[in-house]
Structures are given as structure tokens and as C-alpha cells.
Structure 1
Amino acid sequence: MLKSILFVRGGPQQGAPADIGLLALRLLTGSFLMWETQDNILSAERMAEFVGFVGHHGFILPEIMAPLSVYAQFICGALILAGALTRAASLVMVFNFVVALAMVHWGGDFRNWWPALVLVFIPLHFALAGPGRWSVDHWLARRETKAQA
């Protein structure tokens, strides 16, 4: 069975194994984005620190850009976690972390790039592959298909 899951022409079999992987990756990624930003949302002091960090790295209007990034990460994290509007939320995160790579991590080594790079490619995967069977998006699509039938 493992051979049939791993070595099917065109990639892994669709169904439970792939959906379990997508679910696990969505839960991990969405939770991380929410956990990583909740302190900035709950604490004006932490948000002020992040505004200073954003300003230090040359962003225009750091008083707007910092909260915009924080709230985008938190909201998109919740959407990714639930598998709701997954492709759109994922594209927002791709953009957010490409900007972070360009503005913050550009001069660093690969180890410095890694966290932001992962947060580009995991959401890119969700944007391309979708959220999988165990998601709000899938449930809504099935409901719509049944309603049209």
C-alpha cells in the first residue's frame, strides 16, 4: 500500500493520505500564523515594537504597514486553519512573506531566510492545491454542487 501511495504516476494518490497531509499542514500553518501575531494584537506595547521594527527596515508608513501585516497574518491564519477562502488567504500570505523576504531578510544567509521562505511556499502550495477534503471550502463546494443537481 505504501508503494501505491508514494509512487503513483503523477504524484501521490488523491484521497485520505493526501487530505490528511493537507489538513495537518493547514492546522499547523494557520495555528502558527495566529500564535505568532496574537501578542501584537493583544498588546499595544508589542505592536509599537513591531512598528519600530518595520520602520527600521525601511517600510513606508510603518504605523499602517505593521498592523496591516499583523492583522493579515492573523485573519489569513484563521482562514487557512479552517480551510475557508484558502486560496485567497494563501495568496495574501505569499505576498506578505515575499515582501518580508525582500525588505527584511534579503541580506541574510539562508538560515535567516528559512522561516519567511517556508511561509511563502506553504501558502503557495495551498493556493495551487487547495485546502483538501476536510475544509470549509470543500464543504461549501459540495453543498453548491448538490444544490445545482
Structure 2
Amino acid sequence: MKNANISLLIVRVAAGGMMLTHGYPKFLKLISGDFGFADPIGIGQELSLILTVLAEFGCSIFLVLGLFTRWVAIPLAFTMVVAVFIVHGDDPFSKQEFGLLYLSLFLVAALSGPGKYSIDHYRGK
């Protein structure tokens, strides 16, 4: 089980940490007041940006820490579904594969939980 816990730590930190590199620029865009953003699911540019920042930046921080792991992995996975199948739906596989990889990792986190090396574990969750 020790290897499984280390594997879950690697998945959480790698996927969450790398997603932060996508979320942080969007976070800066949001706090600067620039709400111009794609609206792939028809909810408006501003709300699309806010929800994307919450997922890619906020949820990624929680994922790295292993805090509310299963819950924060869900919006991250949903964001990747939108990115892969709506935003890049007509693009070649080479444009979709990173999103699919992220989606896979977020689904692992949602289904497997945080593992021993997480705040959730020490909270008894």
C-alpha cells in the first residue's frame, strides 16, 4: 500500500502543479478586470473565466495539498472535458492529448482519493 500512497501523491502534485501553470495566468487576468474569455458552454465570458480560474487555480492548489481531494478533482475533470471535447473537439488528437492526460489524472484522484500523504488523510477523511 505504501507504493500506492506514493503514486497518489505523485499524481496529485504533478497534475495539480502543472495545472497551476494554466490557471495562474487566468487568475491574473481575472483580478486585473479583463473578463474577455472563451464561452464554450454558453454561460457568458465572465462566468466562464471565473469558473475556469476556480478549477484550474483554486482546485489545483487544494489537489496539490490533498485537501478535499475527491471534490476538487471533479471540477478539474469537468474543465478538461470542456477543453478536450468542446474547445478542441474539432482539433487533431495531438491538440487533445494533454487534456485527455489531465482528465485521466483528475479521474484517478477523484476515484482513488488523496492517499496517506495528504491533509485529507490527517483530517481523517
- Give TM-score, length-normalised by structure 2: 0.86
Contact 2:73 2:107 in 1 (8 A): yes
Residue 78 (structure 2) aligned to one of 56, 74, 95: 95
Q: Residues 48-105 of structure 1: CA distance to partner in whole angstroms, max 9, x if unpaired?
A: 4861xx14x5744012212221222111101110111000001111111112222211
Choose between structure 1 and 2 for higher RCO, CA contacts under 8 A separated by at least 6 residues.
Answer: 2
> Which amino acid in structure 1 is aligned with residue 25 of structure 2?
D
Q: Partners in 1 of 2:72 and 2:30 — Cα distance?
A: 25
> Unmatched 5+ residue regions in structure 2?
none
Q: Give aligned-pair identity as a percent.
A: 27
Contact 1:27 1:80 in 2 (8 A): yes
**SS of 1:106 mapped into structure 2:** coil
C-alpha RMSD of matched pairs (Å) = 2.3
- Give TM-score, length-normalised by structure 1: 0.74
Residues 58 and 131 from structure 1, CA distance in 2 versus in 1: closer, same or farther, beyond 3 angstroms? Answer: closer
Larger radius of gyration: 1
Report what 2:4 is aligned to: 18
Residues 140 and 98 from structure 1, CA distance in 2 versus in 1: closer, same or farther, beyond 3 angstroms? Answer: same
Report what 1:117 is aligned to: 100
Q: Partners in 1 of 2:98 and 2:75 — Cα distance?
A: 17
What does residue range 56-135 of structure 1 map to in structure 2 within 5 Å?
59-135=42-118
How many corresponding residue pairs? 125
